[in-house]
Amino acid sequence: MDIRKALEQLDLLFDSRRIDEVEGFLLSEIKSAEQEDDDTSIISLVNELIGFYRTAGRHKDAMVYCDYIVSLMRELNLEKTVPYATTLLNVATAYRAAGKAEDALEYYGDVLKIYEDSIPDSDMRLASLYNNMSLAYNEIKDYEKACLFLEKALSITVKNEDTEIEEATTHSNLATTLMRMNKLPEAVKHIEAALEIYESSDGPRDFHYSSALSAMGEVLFRLKDSEGALKYYKQALNEIESSMGKNSSYVSTCSNISFIYNRLGNKEEAEKYKNMAEEVHSTLNR
């Protein structure tokens, strides 16, 4: 199998926002790779599928392929290698997204041990790991550790070239954590830094842009600016739908918009967004 060509086709589907074709394409390519006993291509494609299921909020499907790929790589005696660690990072992130933060942190710990022994301390793969570990620590409400790992990630991204999107993502994650610590002015600075990077970049915006917009919506709401919060949440909703489809983030954003409209006394709009959230939630959990 020409894995490079397959991944280029996958990128084209994402770039052209043909999200509804992604799953079928990946499943077909995985089947072809299995028929050819092309383990390297299987690993690459299954990693992509896990990421797709994760962002689509299809956690049960992601778990099935997490088990599959870990078992395959162990059968191939790839444990303790960097490719194995990178796959574990993807698996851990899927577990975290599924609400299994403690399990995710165990996997992240395994990844960290391999990375520390195998790659330079300025490697962007470490920055990605630190970002993901911070999200897991946020899940278990250990915000101090979350900030610590985000600061480590940021210190790496600013030293590397062509890492603006990763820097923006880290700023956005730091802002979210700082909000949870009720450090709102500091959070605003990091969100503004993230949005400036996303909005000045060429080409299609990274899907993390929606997270930064949502973060600004949240901080403005907490600062009693409901109209400003609605503006950013609605922008986030449009970005989520166009870049990832109607997933769990879409549901939570609709719910946030509904909540604010209720606070403003606009029952009609509140009900509209509540119904939108319930409809997508029901579809995702069939």
Over the stretch 39-69, which tens digit does the pLDDT of each residue have?
999 999 999 999 999 988 899 999 999 999 9
What pLDDT, on the 0 to 100 scale, is given for residue 204?
Answer: 65
3-state SS assignment for residue 52: helix
What pLDDT, on the 0 to 100 scale, is given for residue 207?
Answer: 74
| 32 vs 41: CA distance, rounded Å | 10
| 114 vs 193: CA distance, rounded Å | 32
Residues 6+ away with beta carbon under 8 Å from 167: 154, 157, 158, 197
- The answer to whether 51 and 80 have CB atoms below 8 angstroms apart is no
pTM for this prediction: 0.68
Q: In the chain, which residues have pLDDT < 50? A: none
Q: Which one, of 244, 276, 249, lies nearest residue 261 by Cα?
A: 276
What pLDDT, on the 0 to 100 scale, is given for residue 203?
Answer: 64
Neighbours of 117 (CB within 10 A): 10
